[in-house]
Homo-oligomer: A and B are copies of this chain.
Amino acid sequence: MATYTKEHEVAYYECDVNQTMTLPSLVSIAIKVSEEQSSLLQRDKTYIRNLGVTWVIVSYHITLQRLPYVGEKVTFSTEAKEYNKYFCYRYFWVHDKTGNELVKIEAVFALMGIEDRKLSRVSEEIIAPYESQKISKIKRYPRIGKIDHGKKQSYRVRFYDIDSNLHVNNAVYFNWVFDVLGFEFLTHYQPKELTIRFDKEVAYGQTVDSHYEILEEQSAVQSLHEIKIADTTNCEAMITWEKRS
């Protein structure tokens, strides 16, 4: 299978007050690394668009040993591991310089018709160079719980939030999901496991509500998230947290 690896030195502007990388930055760099691999394999965006389709991210399942810190030299690796009729399973790993795994991202991608905005089958032509394994089953990730007694905060889509397709970039949802938890929480807890699913695109000009609920059970802290526009859910997430030492 084709693995692609890129070194990365963590910049101060990719980090928050904890001096560790933000999730939006982490995910943005991961996607850049996967785009570089696709270009090397002659499957860049233009090639894909010429087939009338475009990649969309369905979900991420992220497990974190720890977040890379400012100035740290890490590697981002990626591999398009498996695919079935409609979904491609791409993995990412962030390792420190001695080879310890810091972060693992399991990403589910799908192809969407540019015109009809409908799911499109994964064709051999697109997938072959990645040497992915064809599987028949659909992989399942942890079920994201529903918010029972939530709070919310509004976020207006900003010009810099949108992609060239005029929809909000997936990395921005992490900003909405994390920001709503506030300074106290985000400086006392660090994420250990995160599942996020993108259900419906958000466009420029819209305002979303970032709903959340924090569940504490003995030492385990979990947060549930829903990004909604009125009654429509655009994105759901669930994060398991650990107290910072």
Contacts and interface: CB of A to CB of B under 8 A. Distances in A.
Contacts of A164: 17, 19
A28 interface: yes
10 contacts: A12-B35, A13-B31, A13-B32, A13-B169, A16-B159, A16-B160, A158-B179, A159-B183, A159-B186, A160-B175
A114 to B, nearest CB: 16
A165 to B, nearest CB: 9
A102 interface: no
Interface residues of A, number: 31
Given A12-B35, A13-B32, A164-B17, A159 B171 contact: no
A99 interface: no
Contacts of A12: 31-32, 35
A13 B171 contact: yes
A17 B162 contact: yes
B16 A28 contact: no
Nearest to A162: B17
A163 interface: yes
A24 interface: yes
Interface in A165-217: 166, 169, 171, 175, 178-179, 181-183, 186, 204-205
A22 interface: yes
A82 B171 CA distance: 40
A147 B166 CA distance: 31
A11 interface: yes
A180 to B, nearest CB: 9
B158 A17 contact: no
A186 B160 CA distance: 10
Interface string A20-60: 00101000110110010000000000000000000000000
